[in-house]
Amino acid sequence: MTTTTASTVIAATDGSALGNPGPAGWAYYIDEGSWAAGSFTRATNNAAELQAVLELLRALPGDVDVQIRADSQYVINALYGTGGRKAWVHGWKRKGWKTASGTPVANREVIAEIADRMATRPGRTEFVWVRAHQARGGDPWNEAADARAFEAAKAAQAGRPAAAGPGYRR
């Protein structure tokens, strides 16, 4: 599996919650030498998915272009948009961090930090949706991130630390 193009890091992000909310894990995966994972005692799957994106962006040098392969439509729509539509975060900010129905935006703090990082980093951040949990022909980055996020959630459930991984290495 190739992890970079000429100038773009290809990475997957994923989250796993055992119950929603429940013990949860997050992970990003670039390759066997560059990945990280962590856990929450109690969080939603969406919170774990977002944390994986945030941790990836924190780890990467700002000038690196990144393609984030994610199976979460929520994350992609919230931060990047699809089908020519703008990311939801732009409307939420305009509405004082309220949804279309007027309720407070869930996961506001992590969404705001990710959006700020995306807006200020010189490197390009692109999201690509991939189908989750495909036994045959699935996205290898997503499968690797999913396995690490699930293991982190199981570690949280068992009351032990998650395998953190080596982090970003280049």
Please report which confidence band the pLDDT of residue 135 belongs to, taking 50, 70 and 90 as the band edges: low
Q: Which CATH class for the 8-72+124-158 domain?
A: alpha beta
Which residue in 83, 133, 137, 159 is the catalytic one? Answer: 133
Which residue in 25, 38, 65, 71 is the catalytic one? Answer: 71
pLDDT 10s digits, 2-54: 454 458 999 999 999 999 999 999 999 999 999 999 999 999 999 999 999 99
Known catalytic residue: 49?
A: yes
Q: How crowded is residue 33: how many other Cβ atoms within 10 Å of its Cβ?
A: 12
- This prediction has a pTM of 0.93
The pLDDT assigned to 122 comes to 95
SS3 state of residue 42: strand
pLDDT 10s digits, 59-71: 999 999 999 999 9
The pLDDT assigned to 134 comes to 66
* Cα first-last separation, the chain: 16
